[in-house]
């Protein structure tokens, strides 16, 4: 028995010497079809599975790069930081949660706002950062969303908001719920100026965000299979004690029932938003590739 142990140990040592270490994160597995893809390849494909088309979660930085025209993004409101007006403490202080979210997400809040161009159209635009406390909306997020609409009015340009949120931030209590009214009022002032607003409800868009400005777009887009609604399906089912329809609150169900206007692939989102904004603003259609080539040759 002792001889066998020594021989096995030697074999294990020899095998370990030639072992090749595979870097962590080299591969990604699709949550829908199980396909294994190089992570770099998946990222270059905007985190859309090349086999089944499943739209995986995308970081805010990646989405900004994918949705906006190159070298047009100017970020605003980066100086705004969440306070702790209620001195909230659950399993840990609210201030500690914010500090941790800043370290792990690379963002200073759950929303990034600024100005840019989308498919050649100047816009005031905002992106929820779901990686920061689940994209929850507190006082600072509400202020930054409001500024997206106010900046659109000031600069006379459309507003676009990409939402991905679990809803109001409970650590700020009624102050977070007030942001629903505040952002909706700012959206109303944009409407009075007859400036377009495109809302993109990503996976997931729920709670106070879904119950306010996310559902107030002139046009509401979403991505395939995104979960969009006020309360989650499980909560609703437990509350009413009834079985919910198949696909309830998913993008396809919402489109069928007229809640959203269009389900758009991530690859086509920027172009389709640009097309809609040009239509709503009465701008000329973007020339096709063939028309652009002809125009260049004539020039």
Q: Are residues 50 and 82 in the same domain?
A: no
Give the whole-angstrom CA distance, residue 152 versus residue 213.
Answer: 15
**Side-chain half-sphere CA neighbours of 19 within 13 A:** 10
What confidence score (pLDDT) does residue 12 get?
54
Q: Are residues 85 and 72 in the same domain?
A: yes
List the one residue out of 208, 204, 214 whose CA is nearest residue 160: 214
Q: Is the pLDDT of residue 78 over 70?
A: yes
Residue 167 in domain: yes
Mean pLDDT of the chain: 91
Angle between helices 139-155 and 174-192 (to 10 degrees): 10
Residue 114 in domain: yes
What confidence score (pLDDT) does residue 235 get?
86
Q: Are residues 135 and 244 in the same domain?
A: yes
Q: How large is the average pLDDT for residues 124-142?
A: 97
Q: Are residues 276 and 159 in the same domain?
A: yes
Boundary (domain end) residue, out of 41, 56, 71 = 56
**pLDDT tens per residue across span 155-176:** 999 999 999 999 999 999 999 9
Find out whether 77 and 113 touch, Cβ atoms under 8 Å. yes
**pLDDT tens per residue across span 33-43:** 999 999 999 99
Q: Is the pLDDT of residue 11 over 70?
A: no
Q: Are residues 165 and 270 in the same domain?
A: yes
**Sign of the alpha-carbon torsion through 107, 218, 68, 205:** positive
CATH code where residue 193 lies: 3.90.226.10
Q: Are residues 6 and 142 in the same domain?
A: no
Residue 252 in domain: yes
Would you state the structure tokens that stand for residue 138, as one six-digit string?
A: 């507190």
Give the whole-angstrom CA distance, residue 153 versus residue 149.
Answer: 6
| High-pLDDT (> 90) share of the chain, % | 82
Domain count within the chain: 2
Q: Are residues 119 and 11 in the same domain?
A: no
Residue 20 in domain: yes
Q: Are residues 121 and 34 in the same domain?
A: no
Q: How large is the average pLDDT for residues 64-75?
A: 98
Boundary (domain end) residue, out of 21, 40, 56 = 56
DSSP 172: G
pTM, full prediction: 0.88
- DSSP per residue, 178-217: HHHHHHHHHHHHHHHTT--EEEEEEEEEEHHHHTTGGG--
Q: Is the pLDDT of residue 64 over 70?
A: yes
Q: Are residues 97 and 8 in the same domain?
A: no
Find out whether 185 and 216 touch, Cβ atoms under 8 Å. no
Q: What is the largest CA-CA distance in the chain?
A: 88
The residues, any chain, with a CB within 8 Å of residue 159's CB and separated by 6 or more, are: 123, 124, 125, 126, 148, 149, 152, 187, 190, 195, 196, 197, 198
**pLDDT tens per residue across span 213-270:** 999 999 999 999 999 999 888 889 899 999 999 999 999 999 999 999 999 999 999 9
Q: Are residues 7 and 105 in the same domain?
A: no
Boundary (domain end) residue, out of 56, 73, 103 = 56
**Range of the structural domain that residue 48 is part of:** 1-56
Residue 280 in domain: yes
200 DSSP β-pair partners:
162, 221
Q: Are residues 47 and 116 in the same domain?
A: no
Q: Is the pLDDT of residue 147 over 60?
A: yes
Calculate the dihedral angle through the C-alpha atoms of 182, 161, 114, 49, rounding to the nearest 10 degrees: 150
**Side-chain half-sphere CA neighbours of 167 within 13 A:** 15
Residue 297 in domain: no
Q: Are residues 179 and 152 in the same domain?
A: yes
Residue 256 in domain: yes
Calculate the dihedral angle through the C-alpha atoms of 112, 113, 116, 119, rounding to the nearest 10 degrees: 70
List the one residue out of 200, 202, 206, 203 whose CA is nearest residue 234: 206
Q: Is the pLDDT of residue 291 over 80?
A: no
Q: Give the helix/strand (H/E) hosting 175.
A: helix 174-192
**pLDDT tens per residue across span 86-112:** 999 999 999 999 999 999 998 999 999
């Amino acid at each position: 028995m002792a001889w066998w142990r020594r021989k096995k140990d030697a074999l294990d040592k020899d095998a370990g010497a030639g072992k090749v270490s595979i870097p962590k994160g080299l591969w990604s597995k699709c949550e829908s079809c199980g396909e294994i893809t190089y992570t770099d390849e998946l990222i270059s494909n905007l985190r859309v599975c090349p086999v089944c088309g499943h739209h995986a979660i995308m970081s805010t930085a990646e989405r900004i790069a994918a949705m906006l025209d190159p070298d047009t993004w100017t970020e605003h409101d980066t100086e705004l930081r969440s306070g702790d007006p209620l001195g909230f403490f659950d399993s840990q202080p609210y201030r500690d949660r914010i500090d941790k979210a800043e370290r792990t997400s690379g963002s200073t809040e759950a929303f990034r706002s600024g100005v840019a161009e989308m498919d050649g159209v100047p816009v005031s635009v905002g992106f929820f950062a779901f990686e920061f406390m689940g994209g929850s909306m507190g006082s600072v997020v509400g202020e930054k969303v409001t500024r997206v609409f106010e900046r659109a009015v000031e600069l006379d340009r459309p507003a676009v908001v990409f939402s991905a949120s679990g809803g109001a931030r409970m650590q700020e209590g009624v102050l977070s719920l007030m942001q629903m009214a505040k952002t909706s009022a700012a959206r109303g002032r944009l409407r009075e100026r007859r400036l377009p607003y495109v809302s993109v409800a990503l996976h997931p868009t729920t709670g106070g965000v879904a119950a306010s400005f996310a559902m107030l777009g002139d046009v509401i887009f979403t991505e395939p299979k995104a979960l969009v609604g006020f309360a989650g399906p499980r909560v609703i089912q437990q509350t009413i004690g009834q079985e919910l329809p198949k696909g309830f609150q998913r993008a396809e169900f919402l489109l069928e029932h007229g809640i959203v206007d269009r389900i758009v692939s991530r690859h086509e989102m920027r172009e389709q938003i640009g097309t809609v904004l040009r239509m709503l603003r009465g701008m000329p259609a973007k020339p096709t590739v063939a028309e652009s080539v002809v125009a260049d040759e004539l020039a």
